[in-house]
């Protein structure tokens, strides 16, 4: 990098630090607001008192047993999906790529539907969802590596589309065969995404997997940034692009499968949020990853708060994220490649 480029990069980094700090403060304020909103309304002092153990009574039970696990889960799921989406978009050099591109969400959905169809307990359903997502992507990678003489990125995308279609067909078959009075409503509700049944135990199970997937993305953020230049350029700069690509896919898949296991299929987050973050801080993955995670956490926190408060019945997350995400996707299509800079 030239002296001029270094000089221009330092002010840019200094400008991004206040943005990250501001987003973090907004996220914290949003979390406190979400804790206060609900059928049992609380004031901000009551929320703070409950969090510090000074409230006692019903307020403390509501905060610690019901709202806090759900608020934390919403932020975790949003951050994880946005981080995975940012990783996939850098990997495939396309802003219209999302965590669904390799079939991970479809595979996780099929696994969860199998668990519901077999009338298994919730923890087993979550385990099936997790294994289904990993199995789908593992099969996609295996098939892509078996195909020689074709661009690997193209093969991965096409194989992921095929795998997603097959998993979707199998899911539909199980829905047809399911008990229409018991299993089918549970399958439909899960496929639309929800955090209504999230507990502290769920967070304890998922958090290590998400952290395990984020660690290599954070440690290798500068090398991952080189993948956006193309394999030849990355190789010239000393990066083993194929191995790094597999590592990024494995890490992003682990993150996505982990949160899909507790939240169901929540679409559009991994597509929309990284693009918003890119418009704020630019394409550098080292900055794009944390900013995407923070915005994703706040976005899904807002969506989840709306889903449980805007109507007498809870609206599934997938419906709201689609209503908000679909118009933005059309906006991306209208802008075309100008949005990827």
What CATH number is associated with residue 308?
Answer: 1.10.3470.10
Give domain status of residue 304, yes or no.
Answer: yes
Give domain status of residue 5, yes or no.
Answer: no
The predicted model gives 70-99 an average pLDDT of 90
Give domain status of residue 121, yes or no.
Answer: yes
CB atoms within 10 A of CB 188: 14
Q: Which two tokens stand for residue 341?
A: 């800079």
Is 91 within 8 Å of 104 (Cβ atoms)? no
Q: What is the DSSP letter of 149?
A: S
How far from chain centre, in Å, is Cα 98? Answer: 9
At 71 the pLDDT is 96
- Percent of the chain whose predicted confidence (pLDDT) is above 90: 38
The predicted model gives 327-331 an average pLDDT of 79
pLDDT per residue over 106-149, tens digit each? 998 999 999 999 988 878 888 898 899 889 988 988 888 788 76
Give domain status of residue 2, yes or no.
Answer: no
C-alpha to C-alpha distances, 56 to 61, 156, 321, nearest whole angstrom: 8, 54, 36
User: Which residues does 280 contact at the CB level (< 8 Å), separation at least 6?
Assistant: 19, 291
Give domain status of residue 141, yes or no.
Answer: yes
Residues of the domain holding 176: 12-339
Is 100 within 8 Å of 267 (Cβ atoms)? yes
At 10 the pLDDT is 52
Give domain status of residue 240, yes or no.
Answer: yes
Give domain status of residue 102, yes or no.
Answer: yes
Residue the block writes with tokens 């790529």: 97
CB atoms within 10 A of CB 75: 23
Is 130 within 8 Å of 121 (Cβ atoms)? no
Is 32 within 8 Å of 300 (Cβ atoms)? no
Q: Which two tokens stand for residue 107?
A: 């595979």
User: Which residues does 281 contact at the CB level (< 8 Å), separation at least 6?
Assistant: 16, 19, 287, 288, 291
Structural domains counted in the chain: 1
Closest of 189, 250, 185, 243 to residue 217, by C-alpha:
250
Give domain status of residue 83, yes or no.
Answer: yes
**pTM above 0.85?**
yes
Residue the block writes with tokens 């509700």: 189
């Amino acid at each position: 990098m030239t002296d001029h480029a270094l000089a221009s990069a330092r002010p840019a980094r200094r400008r991004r630090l206040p943005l990250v700090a501001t987003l973090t403060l907004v996220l914290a304020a949003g979390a406190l607001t979400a804790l206060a909103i609900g059928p049992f309304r609380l004031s901000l002092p009551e929320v703070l008192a409950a969090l510090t153990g000074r409230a006692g009574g019903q307020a403390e039970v509501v905060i610690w047993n019901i709202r806090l696990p759900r608020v934390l889960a919403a932020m975790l799921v949003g951050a994880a999906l946005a981080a995975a989406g940012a990783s996939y978009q850098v990997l495939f050099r396309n802003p219209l790529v999302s965590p669904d591109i390799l079939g991970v969400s479809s595979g996780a959905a099929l696994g969860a539907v199998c668990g519901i169809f077999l009338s298994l307990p919730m923890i087993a359903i979550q385990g099936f969802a997790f294994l289904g997502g990993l199995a789908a992507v593992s099969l996609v990678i295996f098939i892509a590596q078996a195909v020689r003489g074709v661009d690997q990125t193209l093969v991965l995308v096409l194989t992921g589309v095929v795998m997603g279609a097959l998993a979707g067909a199998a899911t539909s078959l199980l829905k047809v065969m399911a008990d229409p009075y018991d299993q089918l409503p549970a399958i439909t509700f899960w496929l639309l995404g929800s955090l209504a049944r999230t507990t502290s135990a769920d967070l304890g199970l998922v958090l290590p997997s998400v952290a395990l997937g984020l660690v290599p993305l954070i440690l290798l953020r500068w090398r991952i940034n080189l993948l956006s230049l193309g394999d030849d350029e990355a190789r010239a700069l000393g990066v083993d692009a194929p191995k790094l690509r597999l590592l990024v896919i494995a890490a992003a898949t682990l993150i996505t499968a982990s949160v899909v296991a507790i939240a169901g299929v929540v679409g559009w987050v991994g597509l929309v949020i990284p693009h918003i973050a890119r418009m704020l801080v630019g394409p550098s993955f080292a900055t794009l990853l944390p900013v995407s995670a923070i915005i994703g956490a706040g976005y899904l926190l807002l969506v989840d708060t709306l889903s449980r408060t805007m109507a007498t019945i809870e609206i599934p997350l997938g419906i709201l994220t689609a209503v908000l995400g679909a118009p933005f996707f059309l906006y991306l299509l209208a802008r075309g490649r100008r949005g990827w800079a």
